[in-house]
A and B are shown apart, each in its own frame.
Chain A
Amino acid sequence: GQNIDQPTEMTATEGAIVQINCTYQTSGFNGLFWYQQHAGEAPTFLSYNVLDGLEEKGRFSSFLSRSKGYSYLLLKELQMKDSASYLCAVRDWRDDKIIFGKGTRLHILP
């Protein structure tokens, strides 16, 4: 089976940096996604990692270590609009499923 763990909630201050961790266990790993979901809206794609290392995209970066079953999403220069849930998702090549973690609700304080 698969197991994806991420913190339930985090709080950070506007302008600061926050790191949201995700650990996963799967035998058929074939890529890790991060999605952002604002309240009442659909999830939107943020990043994709399939090889070890850091992928940077503007204020957001995502890191992957396959040997450790670990990823993080790094958000810099936090803005109030970054208040949202951040969902870690893993793709399994055996059945092509994309399975989501329970999400981390990020609160940004002024």
Chain B
Amino acid sequence: DAKTTQPPSMDCAEGRAANLPCNHSTISGNEYVYWYRQIHSQGPQYIIHGLKNNETNEMASLIITEDRKSSTLILPHATLRDTAVYYCIVRPGSSNTGKLIFGQGTTLQVKP
């Protein structure tokens, strides 16, 4: 599975958009980009995933560059409850194991 690179930490003001980048320059054609987050010591929570088109759901938007070598997770109006570690993971969509390999992630601190 392709590896990802994320900044270790980021800050964001409450109410502003949080833009979390992820580099995955070795991504293969059949690999999807997945985002999860882990609030404090809870189990990780699924946010969103995409292949090549931009995706949006009630939690966030995912912007994937045309060459698919990088992506950005956007939390449009960050709140204090969005303070968490955010993980960007790439994995084949047709995986026959479903497993996800987590990296270090980005610690997002939302400040009042």
A in complex with B: no
Mark A residues whose CB is within 8 Å of B: none
